Amino acid sequence: MNIYVCMKQVPDTEASLTVKDGKSINEENIKWVINPYDEYAIEEALKLKEKEPGSAVTVVTLGPARSESSIRTGLAMGAEHAVHIETDEYIHHKATAKALANAIKQDENYGVIFLGKQAIDEDSYQTHILLADYLGIPAATNITAFSFEGDKVIVEREIDEGAKEKIEMTVPCIVGATKGLNEPRYASLMGIMKAKKIPIKKLTLKELGIEDASIGIKPLKLYAPPEKPPGRIIEGELEDSVKELVRLLKEEAKVL
């Protein structure tokens, strides 16, 4: 089986982000990493490969040249092949999904496609659903358990109020991974050395038939949210404190 993992490079969760020119993030001194949810996707793909003899894992990334470092990390973890759709343009989620779909469709024998359920930079939670739509295959999201039995995928996902839902899908299909699915492995030293020698297939948006990267949606302005004012502690007797609280809600906050 040809297993695919679509992954994204994002700023480290501890990075301090600032806005540049009102339309982009200042990338100076930012550490870039694999999207954490995509790490669960990579691990589950590798586990499936180990269970199914003759399978291979291909990681696919859309992004600028710097994304190659994260691709190498995915290869060092155990993937055999890589595709890099290289672009410096702002890519909307629909265009991203269409580009990923067109790249994967070049392989007529693709099977299970893993992605993180969302990327932590934009939190859109839609790329894997859009990808499934473009490919015309089933998808399940927020997956916490995965198994492959015969020619079917059986997954378990979290739904409202802690309940869980079991879903059966035919292959090919898309699995949106989340925390709890597995514990991602670390790349070994041997894996890191081996990954340096693996060729990465380079593609452009034009080669994949993407003429309009925005598909009708373009960012107009990017800005940090205003800082919240500090909290206020109302001291005194309970009755007096309640009266003061009501007064503040009416006169200052104007919510009553």
Q: How far is CA 98 from CA 14, 105, 134, 181, in A?
A: 31, 10, 6, 26
**Which residue ranges make up each domain of the chain?**
2-203, 227-256
Whether the predicted pLDDT of 16 surpasses 90:
no
pLDDT in tens, 127-155: 999 999 999 999 999 999 999 998 899 99
pLDDT in tens, 217-231: 777 888 878 888 788
pLDDT at 66: 94
DSSP 110-141: EEEEEEES--TTT----HHHHHHHHHT--EEE
Beta-carbon count within 10 A of 245 CB? 14
pLDDT at 159: 85
State yes or no: cis peptide before 53, omega within 30 of 0.
Answer: no
pLDDT in tens, 84-112: 999 988 888 889 999 999 999 999 999 99
Architecture of the 2-203 domain = 3-Layer(aba) Sandwich (3.40)
**Mean pLDDT, rounded, for 159-169:** 89
235: left (phi over 0), alpha (psi -120 to 50) or beta: beta
pLDDT in tens, 37-57: 999 999 999 999 999 999 999
Yes or no: say if 56 and 111 are a contact pair by the CB < 8 Å rule.
no
pLDDT at 98: 94
Block residue for tokens 């200042």: 26
pLDDT in tens, 52-88: 999 999 999 999 999 999 999 999 999 999 999 999 8
Six token digits for residue 190: 């041997």
pLDDT at 109: 93
pLDDT at 134: 96
Across the chain, mean pLDDT equals 91
Whether the predicted pLDDT of 9 surpasses 80:
yes
pLDDT at 25: 80
Residue closest to 76 by CA, chosen among 191, 183, 181, 155: 191
